[in-house]
């Protein structure tokens, strides 16, 4: 994923505009409080992490996608490794989902 990536750019924008939380605890809080509009789990996250977020997001009816590696997600938002992110802005979440559909 060395090339500039639109999804990663959108994650960076979400971070800068304070519409993104990262890390397991903050992401879970965003899901529970229904602030999350989209949850992104890294493709190399542990099975436990994947199950936790898939179950929680299903319960709270929040879309969840697996995308990118921990390292790439972290780099996109200017942090260390991140296995989970929550986008808390409906417009940015929609833009990211649309971009993910186009990449398929």
DSSP H or E segment with residue 66: strand 64-66
With respect to residue 1, please indicate whether it lies within any of the assigned structural domains: no
With respect to residue 99, please indicate whether it lies within any of the assigned structural domains: yes
The CATH number of the domain where 99 resides is what?
3.30.1330.30
pLDDT at position 88, please?
A: 98
For 81-93, what is each residue's pLDDT tens digit?
Answer: 999 999 999 999 9
> Rounded to whole angstroms, how far apart are CA atoms 102 and 84?
22
Asked whether the whole model's pTM tops 0.75, one would answer: yes
For 45-96, what is each residue's pLDDT tens digit?
Answer: 999 999 999 999 999 999 999 999 999 999 999 999 999 999 999 999 999 9
For residue 19, the enclosing domain spans 6-103
Q: Are 43 and 32 in contact (CB under 8 A)?
A: no
Structurally, how many domains does the chain consist of? 1
């Amino acid at each position: 994923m060395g090339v500039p990536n639109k999804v990663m750019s959108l994650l960076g924008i979400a971070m800068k505009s304070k519409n993104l939380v990262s890390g397991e605890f903050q992401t879970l809080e965003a899901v529970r409080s229904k602030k999350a509009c989209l949850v992104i789990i890294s493709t190399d996250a542990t099975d436990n992490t994947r199950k936790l977020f898939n179950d929680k997001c299903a319960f709270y009816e929040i879309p969840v996608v697996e995308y990118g590696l921990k390292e790439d997600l972290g780099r996109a938002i200017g942090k260390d490794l991140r296995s989970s992110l929550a986008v808390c802005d409906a417009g940015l979440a929609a833009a990211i989902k649309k971009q993910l559909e186009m990449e398929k």
